[in-house]
Amino acid sequence: MRNKFADVFYELGASDPKLCIVVADISPAGSIAKFRTEFPDRFINTGVAEQIMIGMCAGMAQRGLRPFAYTIATFTLYRPFEFVRDDLCYQNLPVTIVGIGGGVTYSTLGGTHHAQEDIAIATAIPNMSVIAPCDPAEAEAATRWCATQTRGPVYLRLGKAGEPVLTDGAPEPWEFGKLRHISRGSDVCVLTYGPVAKMAADVAERYRAQGKSVSLVCAHTLKPLDESGIVEVLKSHDQVVVVEETSPYASLGSRVKQLAWDAQATCRIDTFCLQDEFIHHYGDHAELLAAHGLELDAISAKLNLM
Amino acid sequence: MKHQDLSPGDAHEARRNAFDAAAARARCMRYRRRILDISQQVTALHVAPAFSCTEIVDLIYNELMRWPEAGQSPDVFLMSKGHGCMVQYVILEEMGILERSDLDDYCKPGGRLGAHPDFGVPGIAASTGSLGHGMGIATGMAYAERAQARDGLVYLVLSDGECQEGSTWEGAMMAANLKLENLIAFVDLNDFSGLERMSEGHPAFHPLLEKFQAFGWEGVKVNGHDADAIEAAVRARSGGKPFVVVSETVKGKGVSYMEHVPIWHYRAPSPEEYIQACEELVEISG
């Protein structure tokens, strides 16, 4: 996703002189390095200083530029939180905050680099939109949207690298604020977003292997959440399974359960997410997810799919 | 993109010669009186923090900013010390950018002016109130002006207290890295934060001008109630760097019982105190 973002940002920035990227001492990946070389005035590195990264983006947006702030997910929101809240959200400025590696993507770097509660934090702020694409193709669509939208601030949570394309055969395009069906069925719906969508797709496949008719749905826009779309999913399936890489608080799973209660939905709901816990564990991304209980066989066992 | 030539030129010199210090003194006395009047409508206001930066804010609006059209300037004023906004409001009222009814409805239901400035209100460049935000926003604004080949100058008023915020220095360092000569900051150095005298509670806070200089800024220290001296200092800047005017001021300047007394950071005078304050007001020349 990171490289796809870089490619698209370079393409868009080459034709839009207002597009800028403000980074805080993070190596510019792929095409962002090319962007820096070709458009040095529109690539700004604030150094290890995230508050000024966000503050500058606010001032630049107020004076006519369209800045993207870009660094590792934890450092986009946690260190400069009040600047995100006051400068970007309270003033409702169209600045995109690109958080690389939400969840526990930086699996060997320890808890200081895990953005496991970023969805809760970002969605809690008024005016903030929150997008977490499930594959590089969605990352491209979301980046294009962010580059021209006038709605306000966006937290764009991207995976780091290596995510497979899952949406090639999707029957509907990516649309901000709308659930996206990757496949349509009638018995079970698996709802997901972000890089963990691959695991959700594998869960869906295990249901299919049992003869179930399965929907796989990407809830790429966490805020504003497509509430009517989720109610429709709840009413049209016997079972809904949510697989996501974030803490339980203000998670998609908790929102789905709230909506189910309000809509008097009667389907079974199973939710899987990160634990509300700092887990002192190192390994690859899959191993970190497994330590939190997000692992295909573990989920399958709880869903009687083994 | 290129750096704009912002060094003082003939036009500036002409303006310099036209600077009317007496008129500035009269305006500032009027603004202080208007703020005292508003203090009798509603108690939620910061009188003393506005009185310490009255001459600075007046100078920025009425002498430094360019107004080719009424109410429209290519320059920006950003009140980073949001609690000083009463003086901004009364100046915007006099300029016709805010209505008298806006001030009448200050901090009241249905009004649009609060005790801190809110972006979106006419004449307000950014929402402030939480300290330590203005330097970053102003740095972004000044950069945007240069990046779009515009000659807008960004005038920023900081409290001394918010120079304790690390974010102020993140911004100051970045503004110097970017050589933002179109950023001109004024520190309202009244030596009082909300709780105590800075020089007593935080002696290492001083000296301040040297800290800015060490961060790559050009700067001067002046009497912040001497509009003539401030104006001359700004006009005489060399350019090539962001510029700071460390302005030594008196919190509550002009009202004897408010000067250097921390409670007037946020307290409104009683009717009797109001009468005394009005009687004491005089034109201040430094």
Q: Are residues A147 and A53 in the same domain?
A: yes
Whether residues A131 and A227 fall in one domain? no
Q: What are the chain A neighbours of B139 within 8 Å (beta carbons)?
A: 52, 55-56, 59
Long-range CB contact pairs, B7-14, < 8 A, 24+: B7/B238, B7/B239, B8/B235, B8/B236, B8/B237, B8/B239, B12/B235, B13/B235
Residues A121 and A154 in one domain: yes
| In a domain? residue A208 | yes
How many angstroms separate the CA atoms of B60 and B224, rounded? 12
* Domain region containing A291: 180-302
* Domain ranges for chain B: 10-280
Whether A18 is in a domain gets the answer yes
Domain match, A219 and A85 both = no
Provide CB contacts within 8 A for A174, sequence distance 6+: A133, A137, A138, A141, A142, A145, A167, A180, A220
Q: Are A14 and A143 in a shared domain? A: yes
Rounded average pLDDT over B220-225:
98
- Is any Cβ of chain A less than 8 angstroms from the Cβ of B152? yes
- By percentage, how much of chain A surpasses pLDDT 90? 97
Predicted local distance difference test score (pLDDT) of residue B13: 52
Q: Could you tell me if A162 and A198 are in contact, meaning their C-beta atoms sit under 8 angstroms apart?
A: no
Q: Which band of pLDDT confidence, cut at 50, 70 and 90, is reported for residue B9?
A: very low
Other Cβ atoms less than 10 A from the Cβ of A148: the count is: 11
Contact A224, A177 (CB under 8 A): yes
Q: Cα–Cα distance between A241 and A219 in angstroms, integer?
A: 12
Distance from CA of A100 to the nearest CA of B (A): 22
Interface probe with B: pick from A16, A43, A48, A52, most Cβ of B within 10 Å: A52
CA gap A210, A208 in Å, rounded = 5
The DSSP letter of residue A103 is B
* Position A174 in a domain: no
Average pLDDT over residues B49-71: 96
Instruction: Write the residue in B135, B145, B170 that is nearest to A63 by C-beta.
Output: B145
Domain contains A167: no
Contact B232, B239 (CB under 8 A): no
pLDDT tens digits along A57-89? 999 999 999 999 999 999 999 999 999 999 999
Residues B99-137: tens digit of each pLDDT? 999 999 999 999 999 999 999 999 999 999 999 999 999
Mean pLDDT, chain A, whole residue set: 96
What 3-state class would DSSP assign to A114? Answer: coil
Could you tell me if residue A172 is inside a domain?
no
Per-residue confidence (pLDDT) for residue B3, from 0 to 100: 38
CATH number at residue A147: 3.40.50.970
Between chains, do A86 and B171 touch, taking CB under 8 Å as contact? no
Work out the angle at residue A154's Cα, subtended by the Cα atoms of residues A151 and A156, and round it to the nearest 5 degrees: 140
Does any CB of chain A come closer than 8 Å to the CB of residue B169? no
Is B241 within 8 Å of B217 (Cβ atoms)? Answer: yes
Determine the Cα–Cα distance for residues B140 and B176; give it in Å rounded to an integer.
12
Q: Determine, yes or no, domain membership for A163.
A: no
Residue type, B14: A
Average the pLDDT over each of A228-232, A287-291, B16-20, B246-250 and give the range with the smallest value: B16-20
Q: Do residue A224 and residue A121 come from a single domain?
A: no
Q: Please, what is the average pLDDT of chain B?
A: 93
Q: Please indicate, yes or no, whether residues A149 and A193 belong to a single structural domain of this protein.
A: no
- Half-sphere exposure of residue A112: CA atoms within 13 angstroms, side-chain side: 2
B14 has pLDDT over 60: no
Burial of residue B279 (CB within 10 Å: 0-12, 13-18, 19+) is exposed
What pLDDT does A89 receive?
A: 98
DSSP code of A42? G
Q: What are the tens digits of pLDDT across the range B181-216? A: 999 999 999 999 888 899 999 999 999 999 999 999
Residues A128 and A218 in one domain: no
Verify that A117 and A210 share a domain, yes or no. no
Residue A28 banded pLDDT, cuts 50, 70, 90: confident
What pLDDT sits at residue B2? 35
The mean per-residue pLDDT over the stretch A113-119 comes to 96
- Lowest-confidence pick of A140-149, A187-196, B9-18, B130-139: B9-18
Tally the domains of chain A. Answer: 2
ipTM, two decimals, is 0.95
B174–A47: do the CB atoms touch at under 8 Å? yes
B276 shares contact with chain A (CB less than 8 Å): no
The residue-averaged pLDDT of B209-228 equals 97
Q: Kindly state whether residues A110 and A202 are assigned to the same domain.
A: no
- Do A154 and A7 have their domain in common? yes
Q: What is the mean pLDDT of residues B49-63?
A: 97
Give the relative orientation of helices A252-263 and A227-236 as an angle to the nearest 10 degrees: 70
For residue A267, what is the domain's CATH number? Answer: 3.40.50.920
Residue A96 Cα distances to A61, B13, B80, B109, angstroms: 10, 43, 24, 34
- B137 closest CB neighbour out of A59, A64, A67: A59
* CATH entry 3.40.50.970 includes domain B10-280: yes
Euclidean distance between CA atoms B274 and B39, whole angstroms: 8
A122 and A64, same structural domain?
Answer: yes
